[in-house]
């Protein structure tokens, strides 16, 4: 693939962790609408539950997540009480007691919670939902704040999957992103996790960070693989200082340009494949027997706000400030400011800020976009026989001329070496893209 294409298509497009994407959510979806949607859920719906813990003890300059820096436990403890109440509020609204097969804690840093508080949340969840015996219980974990006691508490609470934030191992890169985390610190946490019966590990790595080079990202991959995670997420650093003002602490002069980002991604991805990992969609890698790789082979890979997933649950309920959930009827997002979030829950109102009610047209486009993002291919004739996609095909024509995508009747296939452009192919089916474009990050 000609690298100059990365410059030609150096545009801002969404990552399509949902469709429509979050900037298009609107305020017509209120707590009352969410309550109606919850009440309409068939009692046998398998649920996925997501919990957002928006606290960290120091700010990484690259961070794009919704989090707040705290130096004391008090605000975290106070927040936990609100989330426990929110669980009751949602469970009281649901028309029955539901099974939950996936529990996921993200942030921010869920490592900010004490072991004791972990037990309280799990107790509450088991009181209000049937957490299935084989449920996946996953936690995002910052190795800088985890202790062995903490990992023991996670294990006791039933956690069986951990996603470890690494980003890069190089000291100069770590200094530039305000995240000092020596390799041995990460290895120690991995050993604790495995020693405490939490074997399923993901590792988050980034490319496109300040001072990263091709050699450094290949070295980063080699170091990560010595720890044998079953999954690796290799994200491109999204530099959006107009949305995240602390990213201004990153000197733009130290950032690799578009072509350099492309080379870094390709080199890291090639190395991972050489080392036995299967490429999953845009930016994930998994060992061949991991559930993500198995789902990909079976055409059952999905994409949600946590990235690529083997989770098949048709509904995800989001808990905590800014958390996003989805139901058959559409998406809902919780209020982000902590005070307003708390006041809503304390007032007995589901703390919804916005959302999106899906039409059948949205659902069709969502399926097309999800299949492109997951399988790098879609057959429009299979998905929507007789439907005219002439406008979308016209949008794809220049990408086909550049060798990014192959068009064969209704069959669209992203070419193997054009994988980093998959978001551009998906964007051809996005009916809402124009209005929110400037809020996204670079395509490559």
Give the total of residues touching ligand SF4 (CB under 6 A).
Answer: 11
3: phi > 0 → left, psi -120 to 50 → alpha, else beta; which? Answer: alpha
Q: Give the residue among 25, 29, 33, 43 at the shortest CA–CA distance from 91.
A: 43
The whole-angstrom separation of Cα 444 and Cα 441 is: 9
The whole-angstrom separation of Cα 152 and Cα 158 is: 10
Q: Is the CB of 34 or the CB of 61 nearer to ligand SF4?
A: 61
Query: What binding mask, one character per residue, do residues 51-70 give for ligand SF4 by CB under 6 A, x or -?
Result: -----x--xx--x-x-x---
Footprint on residues 226-265 left by ligand SAM (CB under 6 A) = 235, 237-238
Residue nearest to ligand SAM (CB): 165
Footprint on residues 91-130 left by ligand SAM (CB under 6 A) = 106-109
Which pair of tokens denotes residue 324? 């996003």
Footprint on residues 97-116 left by ligand SF4 (CB under 6 A) = 107-109
Query: Using the rule CB under 6 A, is 63 a contact of ligand SAM?
Result: yes
The answer to whether residues 235 and 283 touch, using CB atoms and an 8 Å cutoff, is: yes
Query: Using the rule CB under 6 A, is 142 a contact of ligand SF4?
Result: yes
The nearest distance, CB 233 to ligand SF4, in angstroms, is 13
The nearest distance, CB 262 to ligand SF4, in angstroms, is 24
The whole-angstrom separation of Cα 337 and Cα 52 is: 13
In DSSP terms, 414 is beta-bridged to 405
Partner from ligand SF4, ligand SAM, none contacting 59, C-beta within 5 to 8 A by type: ligand SF4
Q: Which of 62, 277, 319, 356 binds ligand SAM (CB under 6 A)?
A: 62
The nearest distance, CB 186 to ligand SAM, in angstroms, is 10
Cis peptide before 20 (omega within 30 of 0): yes
Sign of the torsion angle spanned by Cα atoms 390, 394, 400, 405: negative
The contacts of residue 172 (CB under 8 Å, 6+ apart) are 211
The nearest distance, CB 89 to ligand SF4, in angstroms, is 26
Partner from ligand SAM, ligand SF4, none contacting 204, C-beta within 5 to 8 A by type: ligand SAM
Which pair of tokens denotes residue 158? 């039933």
Footprint on residues 392-431 left by ligand SAM (CB under 6 A) = none
The answer to whether residues 345 and 82 touch, using CB atoms and an 8 Å cutoff, is: yes
Q: Is the CB of 5 or the CB of 60 nearer to ligand SAM?
A: 60
Q: Give the residue among 313, 352, 307, 315 at the shortest CA–CA distance from 332.
A: 352
Helix axes 148-156, 183-195, angle to 10 degrees: 30
Binding-site ranges for ligand SF4 (CB under 6 A)? 56, 59-60, 63, 65, 67, 107-109, 142, 165
Binding-site ranges for ligand SAM (CB under 6 A)? 62-65, 106-109, 140, 142, 165, 167, 204, 206, 235, 237-238
């Amino acid at each position: 693939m000609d690298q100059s294409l990365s410059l030609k298509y150096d545009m801002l497009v969404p990552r399509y962790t949902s469709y429509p994407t979050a900037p298009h959510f609107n305020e017509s979806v209120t707590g009352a609408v969410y309550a109606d949607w919850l009440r309409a859920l068939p009692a046998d719906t398998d649920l996925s539950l997501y919990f957002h813990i928006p606290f960290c003890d120091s700010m990484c300059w690259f961070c794009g997540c919704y989090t707040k820096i705290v130096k004391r436990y008090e605000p975290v403890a106070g927040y936990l009480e609100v989330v426990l109440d929110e669980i009751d509020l949602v469970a009281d609204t649901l028309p029955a007691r539901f099974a939950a097969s996936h529990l996921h804690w993200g942030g921010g840093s869920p490592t900010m919670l004490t072991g004791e508080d972990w037990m309280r949340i799990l107790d509450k969840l088991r009181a209000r939902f049937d957490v299935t015996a084989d449920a996946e219980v996953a936690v995002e974990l910052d190795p800088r704040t985890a202790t062995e006691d903490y990992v023991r508490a996670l294990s006791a609470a039933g956690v069986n999957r951990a996603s470890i934030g690494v980003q890069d191992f190089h000291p100069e890169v770590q200094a530039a992103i305000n995240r000092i985390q020596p390799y041995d610190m990460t290895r120690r946490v991995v050993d604790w996790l495995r020693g405490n019966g939490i074997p399923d590990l993901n590792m988050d790595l980034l490319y496109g960070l300040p001072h990263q080079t091709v050699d450094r990202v290949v070295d980063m991959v080699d170091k990560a693989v010595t720890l044998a995670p079953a999954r690796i997420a290799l994200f491109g650093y999204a530099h959006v200082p107009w949305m995240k003002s602390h990213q201004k602490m990153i000197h733009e002069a130290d950032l690799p340009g578009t072509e350099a980002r492309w080379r870094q991604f390709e080199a890291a991805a090639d190395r991972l494949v050489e080392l036995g990992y299967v490429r999953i969609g845009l930016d994930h890698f998994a060992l061949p027997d991991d559930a993500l790789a198995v789902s990909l082979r079976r055409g059952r890979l999905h994409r949600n706000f946590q990235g690529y997933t083997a989770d098949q649950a048709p509904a995800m309920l989001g808990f905590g400030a800014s958390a996003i959930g989805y139901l058959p009827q559409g998406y809902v997002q919780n209020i982000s400011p902590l005070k307003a979030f708390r006041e809503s829950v304390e007032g007995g109102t589901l703390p919804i800020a916005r959302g999106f009610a899906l039409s059948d047209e949205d659902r069709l486009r969502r399926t097309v976009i999800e299949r492109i993002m997951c399988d790098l291919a879609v057959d429009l004739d299979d998905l929507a026989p007789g439907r005219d996609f002439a406008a979308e095909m016209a949008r794809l024509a220049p990408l086909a001329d550049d060798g990014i995508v192959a068009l064969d009747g209704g069959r669209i296939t992203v070419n193997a070496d054009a994988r980093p452009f998959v978001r551009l192919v998906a964007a051809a089916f996005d009916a809402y893209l124009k209005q929110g474009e400037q809020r996204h990050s670079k395509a490559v």
